[in-house]
Chain A
Amino acid sequence: MKRKTFLNRLGLGAGGVVLLPSVSLLQSCSYEPKIRTALTQDDAVLLAEIGETIIPTSDAAPGAKATNIGAYMLLMYEDCMPAEEQEVLLSGINELDAQAVNLYSDSFLNIDAAQKLKLLETLQVEAEAHELQNENIADALPHYFGILKNLTVSGYFCSEIGMTQAQEYLPVPGKFEACIPYAKENKVWAL
């Protein structure tokens, strides 16, 4: 009886055991990686989630998501990126999307924070290898994760939250003090 309730709750009904393999099949089918031909507003949520994983919320200050990092990345992609880098980022996002499904059988948005971080750490290693490989090639294109990381860092530390909460912002310092004491727990000046 107990077993039946359990199966019903799962919505599997009788003979659930037989269905077990298709449960994982069902999961992998629940999210199809997209093949994008351009990054659009629809991707802002995904970009924001990537940004939040790169610069997460902590006790010290909100993370990248709170700064609308997805919209910022999209704007920079659309307005401020050379065409070759746009290509790199676009195919990179498609790849990241697929990789989340390969590794965790779900979209990047749905996997948990630890899985997200793990995935991006893998990409970080990939990006470092890419950079090392291209060290002596002039005008070599960056790895897409390098672009994502740069966009997150620049966007976050140019945002009001990044500048006024994660750092200390003095719009009008009024004076210059050439040497002041500094300790690790002090905030740094936003520039």
Chain B
Amino acid sequence: MYINGKGTAENTYDAIVIGSGISGGWAAKELCEKGLKTLVLERGRMVEHIKDYTTATMHPWEFKHRGAIPQKIKDENPVLSRCYAFNEATEQFFVKDKEHPYGQKKTFDWIRGYQVGGKSLMWARWTQRWSDLDFEANAKEGVAVDWPIRYKDIAPWYSYVEKFAGISGNKDGLSVIPDGEFLPPMEMNCLEKHVKEALKKQYNDRHLVISRTANLTTRHLGRGPCQYRSLCSRGCPFGGYFSSNSATLPAAEKTGNYTIRPFSVAQSIMYDENTGKATGVRVIDTNTKEVIEYYAKIIFVNASTLNSTLLLMNSKSDRFPNGMGNDSGELGHNLMDHNYNCKVEGEFEGFEDQYYSGRRPTGAYLARFRNFGNDKQSAFTRGYSYAGGGSRAPFSEVSETAVGEALKKDLTQLGPWKFGLSGMGECLPYHENQISLRTDKTDEWGMPLLEIDAEYKQNEVAMTTDMVQTAMEMLDKMKFKNITDKKEFRNFGLNIHEMGTARMGRDPKTSVLNGNNQVWGAENVFVTDGAAMTSSACQNPSLTYMALTARAADYAVNELKKMNL
């Protein structure tokens, strides 16, 4: 193995951030702004804001297959082809199955974005806060381990990241999704407003609000506003939504303290047995396969949930023979995703003379009501929310049977209003849901392949039944017609909310990270992406990663100043 012989000084920074996605971008921004010379390692290629959004302004008819993915590519990428956001306009941002194989003991769809900006380019941008209902649940129920933090610990950091990211939303006063620092909300359409009121009349615990969303409703810190094209996942030439590329990385760059190194796979974190600290990161240049060592006082691991844990597992030393921070044996365990196996739709009679204009890049959000307040379910613990939305499209029963003029006419007029409800359920952290390193296979760069072994269990299955049934009941009560269960089924992983495997906790014997996201036993290493999650809640997780990252970066720099790291 050839190790780059450049002087240690030349390869030394104050901080190294591994990964440039939604949490790595935040680590880079915070550390650079606090004056640390920071090296950001990204395994994929460079994607420059606007310049590299190659499909962003193309019309649908300008794509060879009008957006469809050719069958040959589907056949070569069975996993990726199941991802809702993968199409001819976005394929450049997704990892192809063959390029980065992994093992599956049970079916797991692992959707990845290896480039500067990571999945922050293609994310769905919904940003509900967590509440103490979520942070206290494990402790109250005796599930897994207790979160080492509560809402009050993270609330100021939610505010901090919301103010910079730019989150549109309404102050709804709901304790399950606490209000934040919002830009003006996007508006609900007439059917959504009707459903909101109808739910209020029929129930006392069902609240439909506009989803808090990282799309800018006003110009914000030189970005946006959103132009209502709803083509976000191609990258936005208007900077209309939050991504690392549009927001955090440019802010880091502005400080003069930022260095980014694309095509750099982190192979392992180096550890000094004498000081009990990490010394740096061993990197493989993906083009030259050269191995290079970089050194820093602190290291932020933001490689995305499974890759962050893979890196810790691959960072073995005498002190950590089973992977860095793995005194507890919990590293790799407690893998979660969300459970979106519920999609119900109904037709509404009325508002025939109402429509909307522009493509709103978000939807309505029906906040959690199960196992909250007076509600108590015996079949399952925790709860779910629904993504909801009213819409009208030009398709009616006529189109199903007509050919010729009648069909054309029907397809150029609006059909009835429809309202959809998609369940978003919490998943419990199970020790048995785990990832491990394969001993028989490595990738092109010598990294061991991951073996993933995870599944939904009894609690998730019982919750799915209730999600579907309750959605249908609600639509029925509100006099919807043709209510259909779309029988949504997604493999574990496909909701792209993989969480856990290096959980935070209060005790090094049962967790990998402490309450400040420090690795137990290697306190100058911080893991602040999805790997750190102790439970999954039912809210979309990215806002919480952002807040945890900014909080940990603040703590890290304070500790550095106090010479504690």
Contacts and interface: CB of A to CB of B under 8 A. Distances in A.
A182 B400 CA distance: 23
Interface residues of A, number: 53
A176 B69 contact: no
B70 A176 contact: no
Interface stretch (A8-16, A49-57, A104-112): A49-57
Contact of B190 (A55, A178, A188): A178
B439 interface: no
B370 to A, nearest CB: 29
A23 interface: no
Contacts of A176: 186-187, 228, 356-360
Contact of A82 (B64, B71, B190): B71
A153 interface: yes
A155 B66 contact: yes
Contacts of A155: 66
A171 interface: yes
Interface in B175-190: 186-190
Contact of A53 (B399, B404, B409): B404
Interface string B41-63: 00000000000000001011100
A175 B228 contact: yes
Contact of A55 (B66, B354, B407): B407
A149 B64 CA distance: 20
Nearest to B357: A177
B227 A177 contact: no
B404 A174 contact: no
A154 interface: yes
Contacts of B228: 173-176
B10 interface: no
Contacts of A188: 355, 393-394, 412-414
A124 B190 CA distance: 36
Contact of A178 (B65, B189, B411): B189
A29 interface: no
A17 interface: no
B219 to A, nearest CB: 13
Contacts of B359: 173, 176, 189, 191
Chain B binding surface SS class: loop
A187 B412 contact: yes
Nearest to B190: A179
A120 B291 CA distance: 65
B408 interface: yes
A95 to B, nearest CB: 17
Interface string A142-176: 00000001000111011110010011011111111
A60 B356 contact: no
A137 interface: no
Contact of B403 (A75, A121, A163, A180): A121
A181 to B, nearest CB: 6
Contacts of B60: 158, 163
A191 B393 CA distance: 9
B229 interface: yes
B61 A182 contact: no
Contacts of B405: 56, 58
Interface of B: 57, 59-61, 64-72, 186-190, 193, 227-229, 352-360, 393-394, 399-405, 407-409, 411-414
Given A72-B66, A179-B354, A188-B355, 11 more contacts: A76-B65, A153-B411, A155-B66, A170-B358, A176-B228, A178-B356, A178-B360, A181-B354, A182-B355, A188-B414, A191-B359
Interface of A: 53-56, 58, 60-61, 63, 72, 75-76, 79-83, 117, 120-121, 124, 128, 149, 153-155, 157-160, 163, 166-167, 169-184, 186-189, 191
9 contacts: A58-B408, A80-B68, A117-B404, A124-B401, A163-B61, A175-B358, A176-B357, A177-B358, A179-B356
